[in-house]
Structure 1
Amino acid sequence: MTEQPPTAPDPTALREAVTRKAALKALYDHIGEALAVAGTDVQYLLNQQYKATGTTKVDALLPDGTQVGSVTRKGGEKAAVVTDEEAFRAWVRDAYPSEHVVDVIPVHIVAKVQPGFVAKVLAEATAAGVARYVDPATAEVHDVPGVEIKPSRAASHQLNYRRATKADSRTGRDLVAQAWREGALAAHVLPALAPATPTTPPAEAEAVEDAPAA
């Protein structure tokens, strides 16, 4: 059986598909850049508001005041980290010599703390919020040198859209889409892609064109 030669696609369909891809990619890039800037602005302002008032939640409103969702600030986290290895190692050597080991490697000798003990000390300091370690056997409290509590994860925020209700089946996303279709958002969120505002109303422009010459 002779194999049929491949059929070329419809040129119009192919061109439309390529154009659609090119247009969507350009829009996607614009939106991606704008979204990154908006996220940075929101986090900065949320952090400012939290420090000033303790407030962590702000409603997301359309230009007409319709609520479409809310943004909630999520606090960062802190953890104990070794910031001065020599000071930390010296403390372990003096207080817990069994956790301090010396590796003899050809040409040089390396002194270090057992990794398991490092993890235990840091975990306890993180839980306490201070660079301290309580000896489980003697209950002695050690101020651990070379260890500090530092941010391990920056503050962030979470956006939640309004859910549909029995009274209104539209979600926050639906309301945003509707506002975009009605032209109420472009100038506010993507001014670079907003339609140009005519300087002269169409009716006045036609009147000027039809006016008799002086």
Structure 2
Amino acid sequence: MNLKESATRVAVLRVLRDTVDAAYEAERRTVLDGLRAARAEFDLKSIRVTLPDQTPVATITLIDPQPAVVVADEDAFTAWVAANHPCEVETLVRVRPGWQRKFLTHLTALDSVADPHTGEVIPGLTALSASAPRSFSLRPLPGGPEEITRAWRSGQLDLRQLLTGMGEESPVAREEAHGR
């Protein structure tokens, strides 16, 4: 292959990559929205992904954020720590970041903004509830990527159809429709 042919391949592959990336992001948003709706309606968190011939290739699972305690008022929290844990306050008058992370994590586990020893509400802290899932994980099943490649090469999966979103229903949509 000469330089001109390689340059053409690079240009074409770049356009294809960008097209695939855009289609991936759009489908990812559709799947996330669908999983959120399925969670709300059916308490469904995961979905098995299959090829058109029903060969399982992956599992998609919502990732649930954890509730957290965060510092809402840095000055009030720093004053409280200075009064109650003075060795954890640095000279520049801030809470040591490592201790703050550990302390807030411990409070999150308790689902509280009160001192676990005295019960005193700690000024400057606010408890946030967990937000709606913002992402999901996709874990290929053993042999799943190879099965996808086989289906693509054999013509069972039509990339044009996948990239345009037109034509036959996608495996994920089919799974959602059938409640699997």
**TM-score where L is the length of structure 2:** 0.70
Give 2:58's aligned residue.
69
2:7 is aligned, of 18, 21, 46, to 18
The alpha carbon displacement at 1:29 in A equals: 0.9
Give 2:119's aligned residue.
141
- Matched AA of 1:186: L
Give 2:23's aligned residue.
34
Could you list the per-position Cα deviations for residues 60-83 of structure 1 after superposition, in whole angstroms to 9, with x for gaps in the alignment? 122343322221222112321111
Unaligned runs of 5+ in 1: 1-11, 104-109, 164-170, 195-214
Give 1:158's aligned residue.
137
Q: Distance in 2 between matches of 1:59 and 1:100?
A: 48
Give 1:197's aligned residue.
none
Give yes or no for the alignment of 1:132 onto 2:92.
no
Could you list the per-position Cα deviations for residues 122-163 of structure 1 after superposition, in whole angstroms to 9, with x for gaps in the alignment? 23212212212223xxxx212223212335996432212232
Instruction: Output the aligned Cα RMSD.
Output: 3.4
**TM-score where L is the length of structure 1:** 0.61
Higher relative contact order (CA 8 A, sep 6+): 2
Higher-Rg structure is 1
Alignment of 1:89-108 (within 5 A): 89=78, 91-92=80-81, 96=84, 98=86
In the comparison of the two structures, how many residue pairs are matched?
Answer: 164
Q: Which has the higher strand share?
A: 1
Could you list the per-position Cα deviations for residues 9-28 of structure 1 after superposition, in whole angstroms to 9, with x for gaps in the alignment? xxx62222222211111111
State the percentage of identical aligned residues. Answer: 27
Give 1:176's aligned residue.
148
1:43 is aligned, of 32, 42, 48, to 32
Unaligned runs of 5+ in 2: 168-180
Q: Distance in 2 between matches of 1:162 and 1:100?
A: 47
The alpha carbon displacement at 1:97 in A equals: 7.9
Task: Quickly say closer, same or farther: Cα 1:13–1:114, change in 2 above 3 A.
Answer: closer
Q: Which has the higher helix share?
A: 2
- Matched AA of 1:173: P
Q: Distance in 2 between matches of 1:82 and 1:176?
A: 46
Task: Quickly say closer, same or farther: Cα 1:121–1:161, change in 2 above 3 A.
Answer: closer
The alpha carbon displacement at 1:50 in A equals: 2.2
- Matched AA of 1:55: L
Q: Counterpart of 1:77 in 2: which secondary structure?
A: coil
Q: Counterpart of 2:18 in 1: which secondary structure?
A: helix
Give 2:158's aligned residue.
185
Check whether the contact 1:61–1:68 (CA below 8 A) recurs between aligned residues.
yes
The alpha carbon displacement at 1:41 in A equals: 2.2
The alpha carbon displacement at 1:190 in A equals: 0.6
